[in-house]
Amino acid sequence: MEADMISQALRARTQVLSMQGFLSEDNDPPAPSDYYDAPHRDAVSTALKAEQRCEDLLREREDQLSKVGTFTATIDPEKLNRAKELLRKREELIQKQDELHLLLKAKNVVLSDILDRKDRVIDHESKMSHLARITENCEQLRNEMEQIYNGKTWNCSYEND
């Protein structure tokens, strides 16, 4: 609103100066105030240019506000809340990561060492599970061999009779 009032005042002053300029062009002898007309006109011209820039910026701002209003109307509130929640969680994770790096630095531990240890633990766990499978397979083979052996013993004793 202040911009509108300033704009109106500048326009009114420009009109007055234009009328004075128009009236002074009637081949009248120059008035004593004509000495100040050129700097005054330069100042008015500069003010008019500034006013035009101000109006352009205000128009651009109104356009941007209308675009923001349009975009705001199209945003799903649930998605917006979810995005805010994800952003909050991301910030928490970044904070925890920074704390972890500080802790590791304080303990003089390198992250690559920890990752190597993790890989060795995973490798050890896979070896243990592989060993458990082999043990289970051995037990099954032992049971099958006992069944076969018992069967042959029975067959052998049957043949001897």
Domain count, the chain: 3
- Average the pLDDT over 106-124 and give the result: 80
Task: Verify that 64 and 127 share a domain, yes or no.
Answer: no
Which range scores top for mean pLDDT: 24-28, 58-62, 86-90?
86-90
Helix (H), strand (E), coil (C) string for the chain? CHHHHHHHHHHHHHHHHHHHHHHHCCCCCCCHHHHHHHHHHHHHHHHHHHHHHHHHHHHHHHHHHHHHHHHHHHCCHHHHHHHHHHHHHHHHHHHHHHHHHHHHHHCCCCHHHHHHHHHHHHHHHHHHHHHHHHHHHHHHHHHHHHHHHHHHHHHHHHHHC
Last residue of a domain, one of 25, 47, 74: 74
Task: Verify that 121 and 92 share a domain, yes or no.
Answer: no
Prediction pTM value: 0.33
